[in-house]
Amino acid sequence: MFQTLNSFFKVWDVEAGATQKILNQLTDESLLQKVTSQNWTLGRIAWHTVTAIGVIASRTDLSFDSPNQDYPVPTSAKFISDSYRQASSALSQAVKNQWNDKSLGEIQEFFGQRMSNSDLLFFMIQHQIHHRGQMTILMRQAGLTVPGLYGPSKEEWAVIGMDAPKM
């Protein structure tokens, strides 16, 4: 996917920023929101999104500090948000300081598949996007405001002086 580190950083900065916006909106109470008793809570999904950075990166030769145990789930939304900020920044610094463009082509074993470091980084981004979608649904159910990521959210249309699309 990525041919250069710069191409990764351009996408990572946008997508990590979007994930951070979501996590910044969570409250301690909202972490318990769930669809059913058989599904993960909002807090569990959020914390998994944080810890997956280190778990996925651990399949490469990158070395950095990041939470990598996704259970038990912290009860503080601020802790989860702050941990994501630290982990996403640590990943960026590790890629910047430990890899070069050629490192992106190195092949790793990942859950029974052979993938390049480039593909692993892209998978990490897709993984976050997937879980952001889940989190936004649970955020709505918990009564939280969902920030716009790729365009205005329902609540943001008025801020930009426009009517929200009809329901």
Q: Where are the domains of the chain?
A: 5-160
CATH number, domain 5-160, options 1.20.120.450, 3.40.50.1000, 3.40.190.10, 3.10.50.40: 1.20.120.450
Predicted local distance difference test score (pLDDT) of residue 62: 97
Predicted local distance difference test score (pLDDT) of residue 4: 98
Predicted local distance difference test score (pLDDT) of residue 119: 97
Q: What angle do CA 52, 56, 61 make, to 5 degrees?
A: 140
The predicted model scores a pTM of 0.94
Predicted local distance difference test score (pLDDT) of residue 126: 98
Which is more confident, 29 or 70?
29
pLDDT higher than threshold 90 for residue 161: no
Question: What region does 53 belong to: left with phi over 0, alpha with psi -120 to 50, or beta?
Answer: alpha
pLDDT higher than threshold 90 for residue 157: no
CB 94 within 8 A of CB 123: no
Mean pLDDT of the chain: 95
